[in-house]
Amino acid sequence: MAMKVYKTHFFIYLVISLMAFSGLAAGQEAAADGPRDFFVKGNLSYKDGQYAQAIEHYDKIIQKGKVSGPLFYNIGNAYFKMGKIGKAILNYERAARFIPRDHDLRANHQFALSLTRTVNKEKGRSFFAVIKKGVVGHFTMNEIFIALYLMLLTAGLAHLCALYFCWPKKLFRNCLVVLGLFFLLFMYEMIGRVKALDHLSIVTVNAHARFEPREEATTHFALNEGEKVKVLREVEGWSKIQRADEKAGWIKSGKIERITQF
Amino acid sequence: MKFNLIYSLGKYTTFQTAENSFPENARSYDDRREEFSCKRQLTGFLMALSFLGLTCFSVYANDINVVAVVDRNKVELGSAFNFSLKIDGSQGLEPVKLPPIEGLESSFIGPSTRISIVNGQYSKSVSFNYNMYPIKIGRFEIPSLQIKIEGDVYQTQSIPIEVVDPGAGINNSQGYGDPGQSVTLQDKIFIVMGSPKNEYFINERIPITIKLLVNNLKVSQIQYPQFDHAGFTVEPFPEPPSYEKIIAGVRYNIWEFKTFVYPNRAGELTLGPAQLGCNMLFKGTNNRRRSIGSFGSIFDEGVFDGFFDTYAKKEVTLKSADLPFTIKFLPENGKPRDFSGGVGSFDFDVHIGPEEVRVGDPLTLKIKVAGNGNLKALRMPSMASVKGADENFKYYDPEIAETGRVKSLEQVVIPMSESVKEFPAIQFSFFDVAGNKYKTLRKGPFPVNVVPLDDDEQLKVVGLAPGEGRVEVNEKLGQDIGFINERLGKVYGSDFLLHRNAGFYVLIVLTFLLWGGCLTAYLITRRIKTDVKFARRLQAPRHARKGLASARKFLERDEQKDFYDALFQTLQKYFANKFHIPAGSVNIKNIERLVKEHDMEESLVGRIKSVFEDCEVVRYASIKVDKSKMASSFKQAEEIIDFFERKWR
| Band (B7; pLDDT cuts 50, 70, 90) | very low
Phi/psi region, residue B581 (left: phi>0; alpha: psi -120 to 50; beta: rest), is beta
Whether B218 and B249 share a structural domain: yes
Whether B201 and B284 share a structural domain: yes
- pLDDT at B385 (0 to 100): 73
> Is B590 a residue whose pLDDT tops 60?
yes
Mean pLDDT of chain B: 77
- pLDDT at B3 (0 to 100): 35
| Band (B17; pLDDT cuts 50, 70, 90) | very low
Checking ipTM against 0.85, whether it exceeds it is no
Whether B215 and B317 share a structural domain: yes
DSSP, collapsed to helix, strand or coil, labels residue B290 as helix
Whether B49 and B95 share a structural domain: no
From the number of C-beta atoms within 10 Å of its C-beta (0-12, 13-18, 19+), residue A153 rates as middle
Residue of B123, B73, B132 whose CA lies nearest to B102: B132
- pLDDT at B33 (0 to 100): 47
Å from B215 to nearest chain A CA?
A: 40
Chain B residue numbers with beta carbons less than 8 Å from the beta carbon of A73 are 484-485
B546 belongs to a structural domain: yes
What are the start-end ranges of the H helices in B284-336?
A: 287-291, 296-299
Percentage, residues of chain B above pLDDT 90: 11
B381-434 residue pLDDT tens = 877 777 777 777 877 778 888 888 888 888 888 887 778 888 888 888 899 888
- pLDDT at A144 (0 to 100): 92
B335 belongs to a structural domain: no
Chain B residue numbers with beta carbons less than 8 Å from the beta carbon of A67 are 491-494, 496
- pLDDT at B521 (0 to 100): 92
Dmax (CA) for chain B in angstroms is: 160
Phi/psi region, residue A65 (left: phi>0; alpha: psi -120 to 50; beta: rest), is left
CATH architecture under which domain A200-258 falls: Roll (2.30)
Beta bridge partners, B276, equal: B318
* Interatomic CA distance for residues B270 and B557, integer angstroms: 115
Chain B residue with the nearest C-alpha to that of A88 = B481
A:105-164 residues touching chain B, CB 8 A cutoff: 107-108, 111-112, 115, 141-142, 145-146, 149, 152-153, 156, 159-160, 163-164
Q: B359, B454 in Cβ contact below 8 A?
A: no
| Strand blocks (E) in B374-436 | 393-395, 399-403, 406-415, 422-423, 426-432
Å from A66 to nearest chain B CA?
A: 5
Q: Which residues of B touch A (CB under 8 A)?
A: 230-231, 264-267, 397, 463-465, 479-494, 496-499, 504, 507-508, 511-512, 515, 518-519, 522
Please tell me the total count of domains within chain B: 5
Chain B residue numbers with beta carbons less than 8 Å from the beta carbon of A217 are 265
B477 vs B218, more confident: B218
A184 vs B134, more confident: A184
Q: B191, B318 in Cβ contact below 8 A?
A: yes
Whether B143 and B190 share a structural domain: no
Å from B451 to nearest chain A CA?
A: 26
Angle at B624 (CA atoms; ends B619, B625), nearest 5 degrees: 100
Give the start-to-end residue ranges of the domains of chain A.
35-114, 127-196, 200-258
- pLDDT at B456 (0 to 100): 53
Helix, strand, coil shares of chain B, percent, nearest 5, are 30, 35, 35
Minimum-distance CB partner of B499 among A74, A98, A145: A145
Q: Average the pLDDT over each of A232-236, B72-76, B509-513 and give the range with the smallest value.
A: B72-76
Q: Average the pLDDT over each of A45-49, A162-166, A232-236, B590-594 and give the range with the smallest value.
A: B590-594
> Is B194 a residue whose pLDDT tops 60?
yes
**Which CATH number covers residue B543?**
1.20.120
* Interatomic CA distance for residues B538 and B545, integer angstroms: 13
Å from B322 to nearest chain A CA?
A: 19
| Band (B208; pLDDT cuts 50, 70, 90) | very high
> Is B496 a residue whose pLDDT tops 50?
yes
Whether B85 and B38 share a structural domain: no
Whether B43 and B71 share a structural domain: no
> Is B543 a residue whose pLDDT tops 80?
yes
Q: Which residues contact A77 (CB under 8 A, 6 or more apart)?
A: A46, A88, A108, B481, B482, B483, B484
E strand or H helix at B544: helix B532-556
- Mean pLDDT, to the nearest integer, of B339-360? 84
A19-70 residue pLDDT tens = 544 444 444 444 457 889 999 999 999 999 999 999 999 999 999 989 999 9
Separation of CA A60 from chain center: 19
Whether B150 and B199 share a structural domain: no
B503 belongs to a structural domain: no
| Band (A16; pLDDT cuts 50, 70, 90) | low
Sort strands B159-164 and B138-142 into parallel, antiparallel or unpaired.
antiparallel
Dmax (CA) for chain A in angstroms is: 93
Residue of B384, B404, B402, B407 whose CA lies nearest to B394: B384
**Which CATH number covers residue B150?**
2.60.40
B470 belongs to a structural domain: no
- pLDDT at A17 (0 to 100): 55
Please identify, among B457, B474, B504, the residue that sits at the C-terminal boundary of a domain: B457
Helix, strand, coil shares of chain A, percent, nearest 5, are 60, 15, 25
Whether B356 and B432 share a structural domain: yes
Please identify, among B164, B195, B225, the residue that sits at the C-terminal boundary of a domain: B164
B147-187 residue pLDDT tens = 888 778 888 888 888 888 776 544 444 444 444 455 777 78
> Is B140 a residue whose pLDDT tops 80?
yes
B566 belongs to a structural domain: yes
- pLDDT at B42 (0 to 100): 52
B447 vs B55, more confident: B447
From the number of C-beta atoms within 10 Å of its C-beta (0-12, 13-18, 19+), residue B549 rates as exposed
A:45-84 residues touching chain B, CB 8 A cutoff: 46, 48-49, 65-71, 73-74, 77-78, 80-81
| Band (B47; pLDDT cuts 50, 70, 90) | low
| Band (A183; pLDDT cuts 50, 70, 90) | very high
B619-641 residue pLDDT tens = 887 777 888 888 999 999 999 89
Residue of B482, B70, B88 whose CA lies nearest to A74: B482
| Band (A129; pLDDT cuts 50, 70, 90) | confident
Domain enclosing residue B143, as ranges:
65-164
Please identify, among B100, B131, B164, the residue that sits at the C-terminal boundary of a domain: B164
CATH 1.10.260.40 fits A35-114, yes or no: no
Whether B32 and B147 share a structural domain: no
> Is B271 a residue whose pLDDT tops 80?
yes
Percentage, residues of chain B above pLDDT 70: 79
Length of chain B: 649
> Is B263 a residue whose pLDDT tops 80?
yes
A:218-237 residues touching chain B, CB 8 A cutoff: 218-219
Whether B205 and B320 share a structural domain: yes
- pLDDT at A43 (0 to 100): 94
> Is B336 a residue whose pLDDT tops 60?
yes
Whether B285 and B372 share a structural domain: no
Q: Average the pLDDT over each of A94-98, B92-96, B320-324, B336-340 and give the range with the smallest value.
A: B92-96
